[in-house]
Structure 1
Amino acid sequence: MRVARRFTALSLPLLLALAACGSPAEEPAADQSSSTGEFPVTVADARGDVTIEEKPTRIISLSPSLTEILFEVGAGDQVVAVDEYSNYPPEAPTTDLSGFTPNVEAIADYEPDLVVLSDDSSDITEQLEKLHIPVLLLPAAEKLEDTFAQMELLGEATGNADEGIDAAEELRERMDAIVAEVVDDGAAGLSYYHEIDAQLYSVTSDTFIGQIYDLFGLVNIADEAEDPAGGYPQLSAEFIVEQDPDLIFVSYPGGVDDVLGRPAFATVTAVQQKNVVEVDADISSRWGPRVADFVEEVAEAIETARSE
């Protein structure tokens, strides 16, 4: 398999607290053959146009989010190896390959005909392409539309174009239905605080996570932080108490007990009403098909808070 590339944009991945937020995914390039499952196909990744000459049958994924997308769009049987953190779905062929410090020799040992990854800080794409291994660089989604676009793009690139389109549409419809039911019942106006870890790092509405909460019309107390720190500010206990959120979401094990046990938080509405919810750390930081599960967790927490 050969790959032809025209570089039209530089990748500027940003490594943030517990989640990588890179440049948004580009829309798939228009290519007549991609709509029929025939090859070659041309798609656009973060660096430019990529032409994939033949249907890939030995794919390596070095990103948990992209691994989940590949399986969702019907390319699971084509995946021969994934990175050490790609633990979903269960049938994913997890290895000790690293997505953060990838080793070109270890990757080449699997004889891949396509490698997908979200970070190129070590110039791994250039190294792989010198070995004539096609690469797709798809940074972490910055907004929901990026997730949908990546699903369609990976469907095209793997010969599963229709499945990619269908998967994106089904995800969109599921999320819309969840949000509509809650919003119609009047969720807007509730305030929340999302805690990434016990050091009180949070997220603003500019992050992917924050945009999910924004779908429901929730008010993010972290948006009032003096230093937004690229969307992941470290708040003080005094600030959180003063903002008095109606809901607190934690995305680390044991977080609920930690929050409820803090004497300083005793007067916070969310603590008093036991509206402190643990959301799955993987689901809330992997912006692929399971983002709908995260939306569902938020919806359930809102419904519980409204019933208090």
Structure 2
Amino acid sequence: MNRTMSALFVVAALALTGCATHSEPATGTNTPAAGFPVTVTPTGGKAVTIATRPTHIVSLSPASTEDLFAIGAGQQVTAVDKLSDFPATAPKSDLDAYKPNVEAIAARKPDLVIVYSDTNNLVAGLEQLKLPVLLLKAATSLDDAYGQLALLGKATGHSAEADKLVGDMKSQIADVVAKTAKKPLSYFHELSADGYTVTSKTFVGQVYGLFGLRNVADAAGGAGDYPQLSAEQVVAADPNLIFLADTTCCQQSAATVAARPGWGTLKAVRNGNVVTLDDSVASRWGPRVVDLVKAVAAAVQKAS
């Protein structure tokens, strides 16, 4: 597997995996079936018309699953892929987002399908069966994440709930950022122990940018938004903060980082600023991005 394909695999895997330990959002109650049919247009995609308020939604995107339950559409979701682990009440199935099967999805008799990627021409296959399908790719910014919540609200008949959630998220994030003093700190965000990381252009990179942090991966110009840094590059950069987004998947910790050859001398290690993140919170762009913002804020406040 070449370097580019390895990076894409890591990013896709982390966007779909991770174990959550937070409390579950309330599913809410269904709102009246008003305003249908509706037409929604995902970012960079084509318009999709939904004839009636969906009651048999299938989600093959863990981030979208979280969105649906957070806006009160959980009762309309009848099946989610096997990696949708939050909330715990989500109707997990054997559907595979990595290897989607059109027939298996159709057998669930959905009236709306939500997918994360168009693997194996999945969208065209579902459209041939006259099944409404929304392709919601990984958000590239906070505004994109808010937009997906609003879109799902409109698509499911929960626009008011989605708008309120977006407003609450914006308010909470703004409050956390305002209360966190800016410091001239550098950081390294670890996707996997073999050095895959993110640049400031990514969704998670923009979260760090809210606090004015400098990303050491940005210096690896020309390597894409998800470059692989060598251990020597990280050691040479000597970041003030190291954030681990591979704690659940790969059992990485402050101790394992300190044990790596040469890493024990890093400022982040010596000062106790190796931060363990919940993998799924750090890789999804749903409502729990607020938790990620709070985790980064706490790390910045502690660091010197």
Normalised-by-shorter TM-score class: 0.7 to 0.9
What amino acid does structure 2 have at the position aligned with 1:120? D
Confirm or deny: 8 A CA contact 2:257 2:264 kept in the other structure: no
TM-score w.r.t. length of structure 1: 0.85
Which residue is 2:99 aligned to? 101
Decide which of 61, 64, 69 is 1:63's aligned counterpart.
61
**Alignment of 1:43 onto 2:40:** yes
The answer on whether the counterparts of 1:21 and 1:139 sit within 8 Å (CA) in structure 2 is no
Q: Secondary structure, in 3 states, of the residue corresponding to 2:120?
A: coil
CA distance in 2, matches of 1:221, 1:129: 43
> Which residues in structure 2 correspond to 1:1-308 (within 5 Å)?
15=8, 17-19=10-12, 37-45=34-42, 46-182=44-180, 185=181, 187-227=182-222, 229-253=223-247, 254-306=252-304
For residues 281 and 20 of structure 1, what CA distance do their matches in structure 2 show?
Answer: 11
What's the CA shift for 1:20? 7.4
Q: Aligned partners of 1:259, 1:21: CA distance in 2, in Å?
A: 19
CA–CA distance in 2 between the matches of 1:66 and 1:16? 20
How far, CA to CA, are the matches of 2:194 and 2:14 in structure 1?
A: 20
Contact 1:37 1:161 in 2 (8 A): no
Is the partner of 1:171 in helix, strand or coil? Answer: helix
**Structure 2: 5+ residue runs without aligned partners?**
1-6, 16-32
DSSP-derived class of the 1:277 partner: strand
- Aligned-residue CA RMSD (Å): 2.1
Question: How far apart, CA to CA, are the structure 1 residues paired with 2:225 and 2:38?
Answer: 36
| Counterpart amino acid of residue 129 in structure 2 | L
Output the amino acid matched with 1:75.
A
Return the letter of the residue paired with 1:252: D
SS at match of 1:122: helix
Deviation of 1:47 (Å): 2.8
Kindly indicate whether the alpha-carbon contact (under 8 Å) linking 1:19 and 1:285 is maintained by their aligned counterparts in 2.
no
Cα distance change of structure 1 residues 20 and 171 upon mapping to structure 2, 3 Å threshold: farther
Residue identity opposite 2:235 in structure 1: V
Amino acid across the alignment from 2:12: A
Per-residue Cα deviation, 1:164-187 (whole angstroms, up to 9, x for no partner): 1111111111111111111xx2x2
How many angstroms does 1:16 deviate by?
Answer: 5.2
Percent of aligned positions with the same letter in both sequences? 47
CA distance in 2, matches of 1:176, 1:16: 33
Contact 1:192–1:249 (CA<8 Å) still a contact in 2? yes
Q: Moved runs in structure 1, 4+ residues, more than 3 A?
A: 19-22
Answer yes or no: is the 8 Å Cα contact 1:37–1:156 preserved in 2.
no
Residue identity opposite 1:216 in structure 2 = F
- Checking the alignment, whether the CA contact within 8 Å between 2:10 and 2:192 is kept in structure 1 is no
Note if contact 2:183-2:300 (Cα within 8 Å) is conserved in structure 1. Answer: no
What is the aligned partner in structure 2 of residue 9 from structure 1? none
* Preserved contact between residue 186 and residue 240 of structure 2 (Cα < 8 Å): yes
8 Å CA contact 1:195, 1:201 repeated in 2: yes
Instruction: Measure the CA separation in 2 of the matches of 1:66 and 1:201.
Output: 25
Higher relative contact order (CA 8 A, sep 6+): 2
Segments of structure 1 that go 5 or more residues without pairing to the other structure are 1-13, 23-35
* Corresponding letter in the other structure for 1:218: L
What TM-score results when the alignment is normalised by the length of structure 2?
Answer: 0.87
Equivalent position SS for 1:301 = helix
Deviations 1:128-163 (A, max 9, x none): 121111111111101111100000000000011111
